[in-house]
Amino acid sequence: MNETIVFDIDLLISGDPKIAIYVDDVFMNSTTFKHSLDFGNHVLRIVHSGKTNHTPDQHVIINSITIDGINIRDMIWTDSVCIPQYLEPWASEQRAQGIELEERVIGETFLGHNCEWQLPFTSPFYECVMNHVR
Amino acid sequence: MYDKNLVLDKIRIVKDSRILELKNQWYNQPHDEYTWNDYIEIAQRWFLDSKLVKLHGIEHFPFVDVTQGNTHFIESFVSKYGWDGFQIFNREYAYYKLMGKHGVELEQLEPNKPMIVTIPDFFTGGIRDEWVDLLEIAKAKNIDLHLDLAWLIVARDIEIDLSHPCIKSFGISMSKLGLNWNRVGLRWSRQRTMDSITILNHYYKTDINTNIFSCGVYHMQNLDRDYMWNTYSELNNDICKQLGLIQTKFVHCVNPSDNGLQCITPLLLKHNV
């Protein structure tokens, strides 16, 4: 079985980042889109790229995500993971100072580095929400 | 023979002696308890068992939830979309106007905004005139349609093709069969979404108020699905013929007009033998 649901992703942008949104491996060319999902496991992915050492202020903020009419703020905070790709030489400099750079950041909504942000979820989506809210 | 003064502008449901007797029996006799699961199975069979109205494409609606009547169906929808988040036609169920919600004409429908449509309605007394055009426009404008079929229970000669992709859900209830004191119904959905009916059916199905379902089942077991027209068809024909009234699909309503139908319930009750 499957369902078709609407995703509405509100991003706040600083600078000129490249942003790509995927559900599983399907590229979405808008921040608001309707997508058909087979019942089962899925991943919403937001890829931020294009940041260089010359664009230190570039970032993307995930302001809100609404799926099937439900603002999933709390799911973002607990279930999402951000996998940053730190720029050099900045990353090495940090590590040299003894600062540990996280490889996976849970609940991050400020995408200051090039990164892939992921939110695993299941379909039917109403069940996913019910399983999350206990 | 029939008093024309008993043709009313105010619509009343037909609560005849048989229906009042069932209510009395419900309160005065012991009854079996039926669970949420029992009710869903029995009610689906009963609601869809009409020989007088036909719903095609029911297989497109695999998700079935219990409701506490069709007002619950509406309010659950409103809990999802908000009062400004959906649209209705002019000449709709008075409930919306009472809540300050006003309708639009066919050409004013907004794209991408879901809509509730009452069928049969209280102006045409059947499937509203805009229905065929609405389906075309809904497809073109991406409007999801949710059908309030509360009054189908006392109607005949209605045929609806539910397979149209824009029709997303519909609700039917027992209330208009004299059971407005124990509102209970079903909602069929093409796909289930989060709203108050979904939550009720998910969280509370094991400790839900089984009294309303048991009472609903009791009435289903004791009333034929087409009870109203089977009982009053001849009388309705005769009243309309004698008084020069225009029949509708409703057993108790006549004279379709933009001002609303008229009601012959007092005549049906007075002359039923």
pLDDT in tens, B11-57: 999 999 999 999 999 999 999 999 999 999 999 999 999 999 999 99
Total of domains in chain B: 2
Q: How far is B116 from chain A (nearest CA, A)?
A: 17
Chain A residue closest to B142 (CA)? A34
Put simply, the answer to whether B194 touches A126 (Cβ < 8 Å) is yes
Asked whether the predicted pLDDT for residue A134 surpasses 90, the reply is no
Specify whether B66 is located in the same domain as B144: yes
**Alpha-carbon torsion angle B95, B22, B126, B184, nearest 10:** 50
> A87 CB near a chain B CB, below 8 Å?
no
Put simply, the answer to whether B194 touches A70 (Cβ < 8 Å) is yes
Q: Is residue B27 part of a domain?
A: no
Pairing outcome for strands B158-161 and B185-189: unpaired
Q: How far is A116 from chain B (nearest CA, A)?
A: 29
Asked whether the predicted pLDDT for residue A133 surpasses 90, the reply is no
Q: Is residue B151 part of a domain?
A: yes
Q: How far is B180 from chain A (nearest CA, A)?
A: 30
This model of the complex carries an ipTM of 0.81
Instruction: Point out the residue among B80, B191, B202 whose CB comes nearest to the CB of A130.
Output: B202
Query: Which fold would CATH assign to domain A2-132?
Result: Lipoxygenase-1 (2.60.60)
Specify whether B171 is located in the same domain as B218: yes
Q: How many CA atoms lie within 13 A of B218 on its CB side?
A: 21
Specify whether B230 is located in the same domain as B109: no
Tell me which residue range forms the domain holding B238.
4-22+225-271
Neighbours of A22 (CB within 10 A): 15
Please report, as a single letter, which amino acid is at residue B178: G
Chain B residue closest to A68 (CA)? B193
Instruction: Point out the residue among B62, B193, B199 whose CB comes nearest to the CB of A68.
Output: B193
Chain A residue closest to B194 (CA)? A126
Contact B144, B114 (CB under 8 A): yes
Put simply, the answer to whether A126 touches B80 (Cβ < 8 Å) is no
| Mean pLDDT estimate for chain A | 96
Specify whether B111 is located in the same domain as B202: yes
Q: Is residue B42 part of a domain?
A: yes
**B73, two tokens:** 């169906």
Each of the 273 residues of chain B gets a pLDDT tens digit; together they read 899 999 999 999 999 999 999 999 999 999 999 999 999 999 999 999 999 999 999 999 999 999 999 999 999 999 999 999 999 999 998 889 888 899 999 999 999 999 999 999 999 999 999 999 999 999 999 999 999 999 999 999 999 999 999 999 999 999 999 999 999 999 999 999 999 999 999 887 777 888 999 999 999 999 999 999 999 999 999 999 999 999 999 999 999 998 899 999 999 999 997
Residue B167 has a pLDDT of 98
What is the distance of C-alpha B269 from the center of its chain? 21
Specify whether B76 is located in the same domain as B183: yes
Q: Give the tens place of pLDDT for each residue, A60-98.
A: 999 999 999 999 999 999 999 999 999 999 999 999 999
Specify whether B216 is located in the same domain as B264: no
Instruction: Point out the residue among B62, B81, B192 whose CB comes nearest to the CB of A126.
Output: B192
Specify whether B140 is located in the same domain as B230: no
Contact A11, A61 (CB under 8 A): yes
Chain A residue closest to B79 (CA)? A69
What is the distance of C-alpha B73 from the center of its chain? 10
Q: Alpha-carbon distance B192 to B81, whole Å?
A: 14
Put simply, the answer to whether B194 touches A1 (Cβ < 8 Å) is no
Chain B CB contacts of A125 below 8 Å: 194
For the stretch A26-33, contacts whose Cβ atoms lie closer than 8 Å and that sit 24 or more positions apart, written own/partner, are: A32/A6, A32/A7, A32/A8, A33/A6, A33/A7
**B115, two tokens:** 């809509």
Pairing outcome for strands A18-23 and A26-28: antiparallel
Put simply, the answer to whether B194 touches A3 (Cβ < 8 Å) is no
- pTM score of the predicted model: 0.91
Instruction: Point out the residue among B62, B194, B202 whose CB comes nearest to the CB of A68.
Output: B194
Specify whether B229 is located in the same domain as B217: no
Distances (CA, A) of A66 to A25, A76, A113, B82, B146: 20, 11, 24, 15, 22
> A8 CB near a chain B CB, below 8 Å?
no
Chain A CB contacts of B198 below 8 Å: 126
Specify whether B43 is located in the same domain as B141: yes
Put simply, the answer to whether B62 touches A1 (Cβ < 8 Å) is yes
Specify whether B110 is located in the same domain as B185: yes
Of B202, B222, B242, the residue at which a domain comes to its end is B222
CATH number, residue B122: 3.40.640.10
Calculate ∠ Cα B74-B187-B25, nearest 5°.
95
Nearest to A99 by CA among A82, A86, A111, A108: A86
Chain B residue closest to A36 (CA)? B191
Specify whether B79 is located in the same domain as B199: yes
Specify whether B238 is located in the same domain as B195: no
